[in-house]
Structure 1
Amino acid sequence: MERYDQLYRLYDEFDAETLRAYQDFVDLFPAVDSRVALEHWQDASDELDARKDEIRDAFPDTGETFAEIAARATRSQAFTALDLCTKYDRDVNVLVLDVDETLRSAGGTDNEIPRETLHLLTEFYEQGVPIVVCTGQTLENVKGFMIQGLGNEIVHSGDLSIVYEAGTGVFTPGHGADTKQLLYEKLDDDVRAIFDDVRSRVLSEAPDDLRRGCHLQGNEFNVTMKPNFETGSRQAREIIDEALVYELDLLGDAVVSQLATAGDADPDQANPSEWARAYYADQDPEIRGVLEQEGGTPDCSTDDVPETVADLFERIDVAYYEADAAEIGSLELNKVVGVEGAFDVLGIEDPFTVVMGDSKSDLRVMKWVAENKYGLGAAPEHASRDVLDHVVRTDELVFDRGKAGEILRTVLALNRLAKLS
């Protein structure tokens, strides 16, 4: 109980809130040429050092650690960190971070990663903790905003990896031949042919209103339809619901066509749209709900889906993100596979990570981490119900919309406390 007693004393006897305010000002003060502003910054820096010295003097054996914890973590975050340290007796040695609605949020950060969050990520980098950005976005998009936010040096340092398109590829600059791994190239030819077929037809054969209301995300492999309306809006929800039904029908047709080419299906006896709708409705209640709302409930059940067709469906994922995207991807390529690839290139053999995310694709990584005792899961309060259920049942690391920094501050405190052990 000694560490808990010390933390109680730290937050009871010292004004940690004011200390954090000085630390945040010093860390996040924008670069300016004004002499007066720079003098103000220097005064704040001096006051920060003086307040930290008081803590250092009060705790002879742990003062440096406690001064840094008080300067960055709230009382609640510090005690959560100590609870985690007591439970796991390990520090976090790699971060796995989703971007959209996790690091940034359309409803909480104007869809930009906050400066506070970026600075905290820089602190992890300076402490030698690699960062794995794990997202459904395209590689070029992610590279662009990560360079803009963290700087070219960090992104190309060799300690940052990007798992893009929800696991179809991994990009880790500075690692020679392993810098870019195209994981989709390892898929069987029949599966790749199905994706090629869907991609070549998805816009050209779409109904006029769908073609005007959606665009195809510039993926290397996944087929992702995005709305030409603001994400989360009524128009976006309507067009993505329609896109989901359309993609299901197109996928069913592509699967049957591929089997017919191989002589394993008779197109004249096939019912591809109904089979796809029945199969994926059975797999995902959200998809079933959209089909019901769109008047697209299948007239058959999964028992009616031929085994050869079901075998291919089992390898292909259809994902629905309400008012955001309808996507076809490979179940053999997901964020877990991508994260494993990133860990391999980064040389992380004994991972203990914090996985931060909000969607089903992030949940797969959280469950993989939990099953293998590889770390923790954290989620924003608006994450999907299944994600929140998992996070609450494990370590209850739920943070407010747009406030990913809350968890990063907790983990920084955890790492400092773990080093004391």
Structure 2
Amino acid sequence: MVDHDVLYRLYDEYDTATLRAYQAFVDVFPPVDSRVALENWERASGELESRKASIRSSFAAGETLAGIAARATRNQAFTALDLYATHGRAVNVLVLDVDETLRSAAGTDNEIPRETLHALTEFHEAGVPIVICTGQTLENVKGFAIQGLGSKLVHSGELSIVYESGTGVFTPGHGAETKQLLYEELDEPIRTTFEDVRARVLPEAPTRLRRGCHLQGNEFNVTLKPNFEIGSAQARALIDEALVYLVDLLADAVARRIDGANGDDAGGGSIRDSTRAYYASEDAEIRGVLEREGAYPDIDAPETGTALRDMLERIDVAYYEADAAEIGSLELNKAAGVDRAFAVLGVEDPFALVMGDSKSDLRVMRWLDERDAGIAAAPGHASESVLEHVLATDELVFDEGQSVDVLRTIDAMNRIARLE
């Protein structure tokens, strides 16, 4: 049994900081083809085992405590104990966003740190499936997943990729269920609306957008990305303009697919004005962009006719400042993709750790929270609504580029849970 008194004794009586340093060295810097390097690794490995043995012999739950002390700081260990006291069960699946969560352009030079990758392999070895949940294309995610985690893990049957924010699910090693194109399950009006926008988005773009942006190679979502460095002033100006352009293209495409698409159906304004007003009312950031671009509609209220509203309520417009403007299906969000990934992986009673920074990740967090089926974590630079949710639940906020801190906390919680 592990309680607060046991943890106090563990961290007060043992040099756990040095123990963690030896563990990190042994894990992250395996022996290489060098006599000196091999000797250093063997020396560290021996010292690590000696220090763990001392802990094992001093506590009834010595093996568990040695494993916790070798990986988790004092704060992480106590947080783990409190999490287990709150939830009473171990995490049995990881749901992980990538950009600005596992990796950060500022905090990790846009690479997933080796410590994080090693922590993920340890969860895999402990039998915890991994769901990578991202807005990126499948080919991009497959590439860095195999490079970082290894082909064996990726093709183990215990890893699933939810890509393009839920439009598809890729789970290698599952036969006919390996790749599921969820967008094929949408009805014809929605699918043809996206096909219409995709066909027009670059050919009809203003010269400034056509030269300054590119269309991300998605299978379904329509995403405009800047050619300039993400986060730069040029990228910000282009994406703000691109958002207005995408909303108007969407309005035109929807208008061609609804009955009675005229001024009356638009709720007192044009279809474009009503579409702008609808998304402005749904998202304060979008409204801010429309106002800055002089595109906020001059209509009495953001109301739409029935046919138009029914279509817009199924289509998401996303704005990522200085990064991307996107339209996607609200029926194919990350939560829907994660649900399908769980089914393919055979996770029948999930209790997930979900880590993310954006509103699309928030949908997964809320979906799991409504089912009492998970713990949410986010970086400190996450969107305001994500941070509000995380702080209102388990308060797992981590520093930029330090997602490994949460993984170590959950690892400690799972070790505690195995004693019960």
Q: TM-score normalized by structure 1? A: 0.97
Give the SS at the match of 2:296.
coil
How many residue pairs get aligned? The number is 417
Structure 1 position 305, deviation (Å): 2.1
- State the SS of the aligned residue for 2:90: coil
Q: Secondary structure of 2:70's partner?
A: helix
Q: Provide the residue aligned with 1:229 in structure 2.
A: 228
Are the equivalent residues in 1 in contact too, given 2:2–2:416 (CA < 8 A)? Answer: no
Aligned equivalents of 1:300, 1:306: Cα separation in 2: 14
Cα separation, 1, equivalents of 2:95 and 2:20:
26
C-alpha distance in structure 1 between counterparts of 2:357 and 2:63, whole Å = 35
Q: Structure 1 212/53 Cα, relative in aligned 2: closer, same or farther at 3 Å?
A: same
**2:82 and 2:225 mapped to 1: Cα distance?**
41
Q: Secondary structure at the match of 2:348?
A: coil
Once residues 301 and 414 of structure 1 are traced to their aligned partners in structure 2, the CA distance between those partners, rounded to angstroms, is: 54
Give the secondary-structure state (helix, strand or coil) at the position aligned to 1:237.
helix
Kept after mapping to 1: 8 A contact 2:265/2:307: no
Q: 1:18 and 2:14 equivalent? A: no
Q: Counterpart of 1:264 in structure 2: which amino acid?
A: G
Give the Cα–Cα distance (whole angstroms) in 2 for the partners of residues 121 and 269 of structure 1: 51
Name the structure 1 match of 2:261: 265
The residue identity in structure 2 corresponding to 1:143 is K
Deviation at residue 142 of structure 1 after TM alignment: 0.2
For 2:345 and 2:318, the matched residues in 1 are separated by 29
Which residue is 1:153 aligned to?
Answer: 152
Distance in 2 (CA, whole Å) between partners of 1:123 and 1:306 is 53
Amino acid at match of 1:40: N
Partner residue, 1:255: 254
Whole-angstrom distance in 1 between the partners of 2:2 and 2:122: 28
Q: CA deviation at 1:310?
A: 1.0
* 1:420 corresponds to 2:414: no
1:136 touches 1:166 (CA, 8 Å); kept in 2?
yes
Q: What SS does the corresponding residue of 2:391 show, helix, strand or coil?
A: helix
1:72 partner SS: coil
Deviates more, 1:30-39 or 1:144-153: 30-39
Q: Deviations over 1:339-365 (max 9, x none)?
A: 000000000110001100000000010
8 A contact 1:203–1:216 mirrored in 2? yes
The answer as to whether partners of 2:30 and 2:41 remain within 8 angstroms in 1 is: no
* 1:60-86 deviation per Cα after TM superposition (whole angstroms, max 9, x unaligned): x20000001000000000000000111
TM-score (norm 2): 0.97
- Map residues 153-172 of structure 1 onto 2, 5 A cutoff: 153-172=152-171
Answer yes or no: is the 8 Å Cα contact 1:257–1:267 preserved in 2. no
Q: Is the 8 A contact 1:352 1:375 kept in 2?
A: yes
Contact kept? 2:201, 2:246, Cα under 8 Å: yes
The question of 1:118 aligning with 2:114 is answered no
Deviation at 1:266, TM superposition (A): 4.1
What's 2:49 paired with?
49
SS in 1 for 2:203: coil
Distance (whole Å) between structure 2 residues aligned to residue 71 and residue 387 of structure 1: 31
Is the deviation greater in 294-303 or in 339-348? 294-303
SS of structure 1 residue aligned to 2:162: strand
Structure 2 distance, partners of 1:328, 1:234, is 23
**Shift of residue 31 of structure 1?**
5.1
- Asked if 1:4 corresponds to 2:4, the answer is yes
Instruction: Establish whether residue 102 from structure 1 lines up as the match of residue 80 from structure 2.
Output: no
1: CA distance, partners of 2:221 / 2:370: 27
| Aligned-partner Cα distance in 2 for 1:52–1:86 | 26
The secondary structure found in structure 1 opposite 2:372 is coil
Structure 2: gaps (5+ residues)? none
2:405 aligns to what?
406
RMSD in angstroms over aligned alpha carbons? 1.3
**Per-residue deviation, residues 200-247 of structure 1 (Å, max 9, x unmatched):** 000000000101111000000000001111111111111100100000
* Percentage of identical aligned residues: 69
Aligned to 1:392: 391
- Change over 3 Å in CA distance of 1:388–1:65 after alignment to 2: same
Q: Are 2:346 and 1:347 aligned?
A: yes
**1:256–1:267: 8 Å Cα contact kept in structure 2?**
no
Q: How far off is 1:279 after superposition?
A: 0.6
Does the 8 A contact of 2:265 with 2:304 survive in 1?
Answer: no
1-structure distance, mates of 2:312, 2:243: 15
Q: Which residue of 1 aligns with 2:58?
A: 58
Aligned to 1:274: 273
Bigger CA drift: 304-313 or 16-25? 304-313
Amino acid aligned to 2:252: D
Distance between the aligned counterparts of 2:48 and 2:411, measured in 1? 19
Change (3 A) 1:129 1:299: same
* Residues 372-401 of structure 1: per-residue CA shift (max 9 Å, x gap): 000100000000000000000100000000
- CA distance in structure 1 between the partners assigned to 2:21 and 2:153 by the alignment: 26
What is the rounded CA distance, in whole Å, between the counterparts of 2:299 and 2:211 in structure 1?
Answer: 31
SS in 1 for 2:256: helix
**What SS class does the counterpart of residue 236 from structure 2 fall into?**
helix
Q: Is 1:321 matched up with 2:317?
A: no
Once residues 386 and 303 of structure 1 are traced to their aligned partners in structure 2, the CA distance between those partners, rounded to angstroms, is 23
Tell me how far 1:185 sits from its aligned partner. Answer: 0.5
Distance 1:31 1:256 in 2: 63
- Secondary structure of the corresponding residue to residue 104 of structure 2: coil
Measure the CA separation in 1 of the matches of 2:239 and 2:390.
Answer: 28
Code of the residue aligned with 2:282 in structure 1: it is Q
Amino acid at match of 2:206: P
